[in-house]
Amino acid sequence: MSIAELLEGKRVCVCGGAGGVGKTTTSAAIALGMAAQGAKVAVVTIDPANRLANALGLKRLENEPSRIDPERLGQPGLELTGELWAMMLDPKRTFDELIDRVAPDPGRAAEIKRNRVYEQLSTAVSGSQEFTAIAKLYELEERGEFDLLVLDTPPSRSALEFLEAPVRLSSFLEGRALRAFMGPTGAGMRIVGRGAAPLLAALRRVTGVDLLTDLSTFFGLLGDMTSDFSLRAARVEEILRAPTTAFLLVTSPQHDAIDETLWFRRTLQDNGLPFAGVVVNRVHHDLLGDRDAGDVERLLGRSMNADLASRIARNFYDYHVLARRDEQSLTRLAKELDGHLLLAVPQLDDDVHDVGGLLAIRRYLFTSGSERKRPIDSVVA
């Protein structure tokens, strides 16, 4: 099976996984591939490497998908029968826009945005990217302008963070945290208040921030907006759980990464989220077959001196140790996945920083097994 078959009839594809495994690259390559096949696709990327963003003509400030002109991708042979739209997520802007949308009037929105708790919340490193990525997904899905939305996800220490952060943050916004804190009688506040008072007072002296006042002002301002947050949260959950959504997990072939991926997949399934498959990125392919280093040395020896041939053969053989390791990982994963999509993308010679690189990745995601193999003779010859 290829990605194209998997995504047939899907409206949302979420690419999750641990930090640095290739989520952004995979998301962009999937979007490009689906647009090439006729779909109107938008990809929401998070912190793409500068050069990749430039290659796609993405500007940080937009926070809205913009259409990518295939003429400007610098790939004359590339035909997009569909449309490729892309954006870079700006968490702070997405947060602000959300407040604008749910606030009863512009004055209240402005006041909330000036509040110090809000400032902290909307720029916090942990949680706000996750929350706003989901908020953006919701907004784009409600507008219904695209056949498919591909959502990149932020680097998470644990892959599960991505799913938990929006829930944590929206229940905070719904005021549960504060209501529990204050309680109907205010008892909680008195108890916590007594213990925390000296600390809060010290904080206020040093930083000038009056945390408690700011917090209660913040929740006062949110007021009845919190029910709107709950409604949105429920709708978002519906989108994420829908059979038209596909969660793809991206991973590297290392043993621990595979373990984490299997664990993440179980968590998705336990939570009723539509796990669809795994992309194992940066795989070292077996180019040796059943040959050994000696065979490679002899092959190379035909076209270079013996010393050089021996050194290259050794190097090639070392690479092959990684290929063996990766093959074991893939076999183990395939067994565990019982029938779910498993795609291997090789380690390319260079970083993926342009459309050419994305097209190379696309080739592995969009073609089926047998076409991907490269025999050793074509490499050595």
Residue ranges binding ligand ATP (CB under 6 A): 19-25, 47, 49, 155, 281-282, 345, 347-348, 351-353
Q: Which is nearer to ligand ATP, 21 or 39 (CB)?
A: 21
Q: Which is nearer to ligand ATP, 163 or 173 (CB)?
A: 163
Q: Which is nearer to ligand ATP, 175 or 346 (CB)?
A: 346
Q: Least distance from C-beta 136 to ligand ATP, angstroms?
A: 16
Q: Least distance from C-beta 161 to Mg ion, angstroms?
A: 14
How far apart are the C-alpha atoms of 257 and 280, rounded to whole Å? Answer: 10
For residues 353 and 52, the answer to whether their CB atoms sit within 8 Å is yes
Dihedral angle over CA of 335, 360, 276, 34, nearest 10? -150
Contacted by 327, from Mg ion, ligand ATP, none: CB < 5 to 8 Å by type? none
What SS3 state is found at 350?
A: coil
Q: How long is the chain? A: 381
Per-residue tokens: 322:
């990684």
156 binding Mg ion? (CB under 5 A): no
* DSSP bridge partners of 67: 85
Q: Which is nearer to ligand ATP, 178 or 258 (CB)?
A: 258
Q: Least distance from C-beta 109 to ligand ATP, angstroms?
A: 31
Contacted by 278, from ligand ATP, Mg ion, none: CB < 5 to 8 Å by type? none
For residues 13 and 142, the answer to whether their CB atoms sit within 8 Å is no
Report the residue from 3, 24, 33, 344 that binds Mg ion according to the rule CB under 5 A: 24
Q: Which is nearer to Mg ion, 24 or 128 (CB)?
A: 24
Q: Least distance from C-beta 360 to ligand ATP, angstroms?
A: 8
- In degrees, to the nearest 5, what angle opens at C-alpha 74 toward C-alphas 72 and 79? 80
* DSSP bridge partners of 120: none
Contacted by 347, from Mg ion, ligand ATP, none: CB < 5 to 8 Å by type? ligand ATP
Any idea which residue has 């180019």 for tokens?
287
How far apart are the C-alpha atoms of 42 and 297, rounded to whole Å? Answer: 48
Q: Quick count: other Cβ atoms within 10 Å of Cβ 368?
A: 11
How far apart are the C-alpha atoms of 45 and 54, rounded to whole Å? Answer: 13
Contacted by 71, from ligand ATP, Mg ion, none: CB < 5 to 8 Å by type? none
Q: Least distance from C-beta 52 to Mg ion, angstroms?
A: 9
DSSP one-letter code for 57 = T
Sequence-ordered alpha helix ranges (H) in 124-160: 125-143
Q: Least distance from C-beta 58 to ligand ATP, angstroms?
A: 13
Q: Least distance from C-beta 80 to ligand ATP, angstroms?
A: 21
Stretch that binds Mg ion, among 4-12, 15-23, 64-72, 242-250 (CB under 5 A): 15-23
Handedness of CA 356, 277, 372, 322 (dihedral sign): positive
Contacted by 63, from Mg ion, ligand ATP, none: CB < 5 to 8 Å by type? none
Contacted by 281, from ligand ATP, Mg ion, none: CB < 5 to 8 Å by type? ligand ATP
**Positions in the binding site for Mg ion (CB under 5 A):** 23-24
